[in-house]
Chains A and B, each alone.
Chain A
Amino acid sequence: MFIINCPYCGKREQSEFKAGGEAHIVRPKQPTELSDDQWAEYLFMRKNIKGIQFERWVHTHGCRKWFNVVRDTSNDVIKAVYKMGEKPPTK
């Protein structure tokens, strides 16, 4: 069970959080302009990386804020956390 450093509350146990899948997938501003394939790309296609992965998490049993997590899926080490809207760390 991870310890996740919520950017608003600090370190808390994983059971307080929920994972929300891959981060930085932006909902298209004009969905009606998209072809079926383009819409499907947004709707269904997700990466499943062994290694550094950018993810969304929410502090469900805490501040209820969504934020981003950089996690190494091969050993579950969390490299960074940052708020929604912030730029992902480059290193």
Chain B
Amino acid sequence: MTKNLRVKTSKFIDETYKISFKFNGTTYYGYKGDTLASALLANNIHLVGRSFKYHRPRGIMTAGSEEPNAIVQLHNNTSRTEPNVRATEIEIYEGLEASSQNCWPSVNFDIGGINNFLSPVLPAGFYYKTFMWPANFWEKYEYFIRKSAGLGKSPTLPDPDIYEHRYIHCDVLIIGAGISGIMAAKTAARNGFKTLLVDEKPYLGGSTIYQNSEHFKINNQISSSWLEKEINEIKKIENLEIKTRTSVAAYHGYNFLLAKENLTDHIPLEQRNNKTRQRLLKIRAKKVITATGSLERPLIFDNNDRPGILLSSALEKYANLFGVACGEKNILFTNNDSAYETAISLYQKGINIEAIIDNREEIDSKLIKEIERNNIKIYKGYTVVDTSGYKRISKISIMQLSKDGQKVIGSKKSISCDCLGISGGWTPAVHLFTQSGGKLKFRDEDQVFIPDKYPLNQISIGSCNGDFTLDEILSNIHKTLKEFLNIKETDYENLEVYSSFNKSKRNIWLLPSDKLIGKTKPFVDYQNDATAKDIKLALREGFRSIEHVKRYTTTGMGTDQGKLGNMHALGIISETSGSKMGELGTTTFRPPYTPLTFGTIVGRNVGEYFDVFRKTPIHDWHIENKAEFENVGQWKRAWYYPKDGENMHDAVQRESKAARDSAGILDASTLGKIDIQGTDASEFLNRVYTNAWSKLAIGKCRYGLMLNEDGMVYDDGVTTRLDENHYIMTTTTGGAATVLGKLEDYLQTEWPELDVYLTSVTDHYATVSVCGPNSKKIVSQVIPDLDFSDENFPHMSFKNAKISNIKCRVMRISFTGEHSYEINIQANYGKSVWEKCMEVGKEFNITPYGTETMHLLRAEKGFIIVGQDTDATMTPIDLQMDWIVSKKKYDFIGKRSLYRSDTIREDRKQLVGLLTENPNEVLEEGAQIVADIKKTPIEMLGHVTSSYYSPNLKKSIALGVVKGGKNMMGKKLVIPMENKQINVTVADPVFLDKENKRLNA
């Protein structure tokens, strides 16, 4: 039953610009300027979706970002599809395709609707209570719940759009371009402040701009005409930037705000390519003026959720701004004067009003008198008790309210209608204010929370500050602005304001009914299907805190964050529990105020730009030689070099064997390097490492273990004494930055008396490590001038040298257990030294190996990797590395913690070697280790930390941590896996060359 409900031309709608769009597969027409909601209403379509829990038919409820019901999926099954888009916000464009969510097979016939009839068995907390027992049934329940729940479908294809981030710095930010915001912007900008004005809508002027009645005048002009002139003026001010379609999502401390600027969501898809879709604005403002307006409250009565029931202010906006009638037989239901404003607007547009139901008994204002003059029937002191009509409201039932408003009296009367506008008064939009740390107070006269205590440098003006009427706004604004901006004058000192609005209101949070509450469905949160009955149930079951009631009933937890119903939820709790509203407080309003897309949040940080990555100077060689890479911190490290279709296992076996049989070469440039200088450098190392450093001779290297103050291993590496007061420390690849930070911390805060200077030189040097029995033959050809004899250059020593006149440092140190050398050279020569090693190493089958082989080789030697074999709960004693902990030193970081009652326990997890019964069986890293498989509950003794098949030993080897492992040498343990148990024997963690013969071979 398509009808045209476009009534009278609106200047905001371009009727010469016709736009076709699809809703649920059918083509409709609208005009430029329409939202999806206004275009659907013009086609007499109210039913747009189904509710979350009961699958009740739901229609368009509002005309703004607070919309709970009319959320749709755009461009289903395409890369640009987007769920949960509010029909009230999306502007139509040629080719727009929208569809209903949360219904199957269609919005008109929805199988989930059966939940509506099952609702007596689906009360608040139903899921918590029912599906948690028996616990092992959860998987079955979950399948069905997931299938029937969910709001929309997330996209599965890559997002074709571009997003970006932008910083904006300004003197004054104004949020909201309603009448207050416009006046504030003009005042700030005219006084020389660099000003930014943002509004979520595509137009300026808020709700005043479509106000067209003689009842609201400024300086003897209709308020909208007056405001239009102001808007035209501010557009010309140079130091004022105006951003429409821009919604502030978050307001953090120190006036740091995040806003989403929408750039292409309102233009046809084919015009969007290569344009930025949305921008995340990171705004830092010296001062912030919040002018976010207010939201109209619904009224809470039985069946208040049918399609065709809208906020009264939405009816007015659809009529005045879009020129659309929401129905042909309209009824308004109110507890305040706002609905009469709507009535006059509708009347002026020739839209029929059947009746007005007013809670208030005695009412009197010019607005009401005008309505009565036009013979519109007003039922004073009445309330709606029920509505009918499944997919569209068709009838309301009304009854008279008792004097105290607690009961309904007299007989029931029915009035037929196709649209009901409801108004429960107004709630200031204080969400951003509270996000910023502002504190609210409760104003009893009209039952609203308003800003009370402001953080520094911000102010709220207009109706978000509780000034609802035009005369209140205009009489306060100039004083507030002068004080806040510290200026002498505004343009708004002597405005003549005329407003017929009377502020009287009869606030009843839950309207009485002739039925028992258990038989009614008065919805408080439309999106999450939470009713007043659910809230009362939660209170009966003992929930008291508003935060708990919220979670139990899910009130306010939808994508709209309960913008409409939160106040009623509070009101009902207050009335039922007898506590005062002001004492209950509100739930926390968390960012974002309106949802953000993931695209906006990540901006350009996608794909290869997701994070920075660091490359060694030899990176290009690894690429040319087909290395596979692994991420180590931000580094890309060569992982292994597959040859002729090898898989990882085969490549690693080949590399590991070559390194021990002849020669291997590793790019070790990523190891952290810290240059340490100063007269106290040795003393400093004494304090940060567990072993002693004073006696280390110049030209010698030493392995060091660094602890945290709690005694746990933090980092390790080799440090070399280059000179009397000069060392170079190496750290793990991942630990470089934090180790430097920790050393700086101690130097600056605990030991400022030490003469020590630290410089990070990780990126300054490339490190080429050559190992294996033939390593000496190779490096001695690369550096022919250096004496490589064992007498001159023994293990754990260092030499300065030159390669073709370029200075380099050569260390004879080993992480593999093989005879090996590390050449450190200025980074930009790294690749040529590497290539030189490859060239002369050819005759020795020099084999490049990656991190995986490095890990395997060091595991054969029982060398730990900090972070793999340790996890911040391991002391050096747990690692069986007692030898490195100095007994003589008075103090070092972590020393005292090594003999706390907990760290001296014998049954701590300790590092051991593990050998499998079947030498071909390789354990899984992370697998649990147990002693007695039959004991219940089974006792976990520890887990496998490193595990490999060793090609050199021709058997599986592993390291693991086991409770009391130190005293378990030779003991048999079990590793239970999904389908089998693996028998292992505890062994010495050093599997190969315990005598260190190879180091000196």
Contact = CB atoms under 8 A, between A and B. Distances in A.
Interface string B890-932: 1100011100110000000000000000000000000000000
B897 A43 contact: yes
Interface in A1-46: 1-3, 18, 20, 26-27, 30-32, 34, 36, 39-40, 43
Contact of A76 (B253, B709, B901): B253
10 contacts: A1-B253, A18-B741, A27-B709, A31-B895, A32-B890, A32-B895, A39-B897, A58-B744, A58-B745, A76-B253
A1 B891 CA distance: 39
Contacts of B256: 1
Contact of B748 (A36, A66, A77): A66
A2 to B, nearest CB: 5
Interface in B739-761: 741, 744-745, 748-750, 752
A79 interface: no
A46 to B, nearest CB: 13
A66 B749 contact: yes
A31 B901 CA distance: 15
Given A26-B750, A34-B896, A40-B900, 13 more contacts: A1-B253, A1-B254, A2-B253, A18-B741, A20-B745, A27-B750, A31-B895, A31-B896, A56-B749, A58-B741, A60-B741, A66-B749, A85-B752
A75 B437 contact: yes
Contacts of A66: 744-745, 748-749
A84 B749 contact: yes
Interface of B: 252-254, 256, 437, 455-456, 709-710, 741, 744-745, 748-750, 752, 890-891, 895-897, 900-901
Nearest to B893: A27
- Kindly list the 9 A-B residue pairs having the minimum CB-CB distance in the complex, ordered from nearest: A31-B896, A1-B256, A76-B253, A66-B748, A27-B750, A39-B896, A3-B254, A66-B749, A2-B254
B880 to A, nearest CB: 24
Contacts of A18: 741
B873 to A, nearest CB: 15
Contacts of B752: 84-85
Contact of A84 (B455, B748, B891): B748
Nearest to B438: A75
Contacts of A85: 752
Contacts of A75: 253, 437, 455
B748 A32 contact: no
Interface string A38-78: 01100100000000000010101000111000000001110
Nearest to B758: A64
Contacts of B901: 36
Contact of B896 (A2, A32, A64): A32
Contacts of A20: 745
Nearest to B437: A75
A62 to B, nearest CB: 13
Contact of A32 (B253, B750, B891): B891
Interface of A: 1-3, 18, 20, 26-27, 30-32, 34, 36, 39-40, 43, 56, 58, 60, 64-66, 75-77, 84-85
A85 B753 CA distance: 11
B129 to A, nearest CB: 36
Contacts of A64: 744
Given A58-B745, A76-B437, A36 B900 contact: yes
A44 B65 CA distance: 48
A65 B745 CA distance: 8
A46 B802 CA distance: 53
A75 B896 CA distance: 38
Nearest to A56: B749
Nearest to B737: A60
A27 B895 CA distance: 13
A7 B750 CA distance: 19
A75 B254 CA distance: 10
Contacts of B741: 18, 58, 60
A32 B710 CA distance: 14
B521 to A, nearest CB: 42
A57 to B, nearest CB: 11
B656 to A, nearest CB: 39
A43 B710 contact: yes
Nearest to B902: A36
A17 to B, nearest CB: 12
B709, B741, B896, B900, most chain A CB atoms within 10 A: B896
Contacts of B437: 75-76
Contacts of A40: 900
Nearest to B744: A64
A11 to B, nearest CB: 10
A7 to B, nearest CB: 13
Contacts of B750: 26-27
A75 B709 CA distance: 32
Nearest to B750: A27
A16 B638 CA distance: 31
A77 B437 CA distance: 11
Contacts of A56: 749
B341 to A, nearest CB: 39
A5 B738 CA distance: 23
B833 to A, nearest CB: 32
Contacts of B456: 77
A56 B455 CA distance: 24
A31, A34, A56, most chain B CB atoms within 10 A: A31
A39 B253 contact: no
Contacts of A34: 896
A40 B570 CA distance: 46
Nearest to B255: A3
Nearest to B747: A66
A39 B437 CA distance: 38
A36 to B, nearest CB: 5
B998 to A, nearest CB: 40
B561 to A, nearest CB: 23
B433 to A, nearest CB: 14
A1 to B, nearest CB: 5
A31 B899 CA distance: 11
Contacts of A3: 254
A60 B745 CA distance: 11
B11 to A, nearest CB: 42
A65 B748 contact: yes
A40 B256 CA distance: 39
A77 B252 CA distance: 12
Nearest to A60: B741
A25 B253 CA distance: 28
A65 B752 CA distance: 12
A32 B750 CA distance: 17
A34 B900 CA distance: 11
B378 to A, nearest CB: 49
A16 to B, nearest CB: 14
A1 B900 CA distance: 40
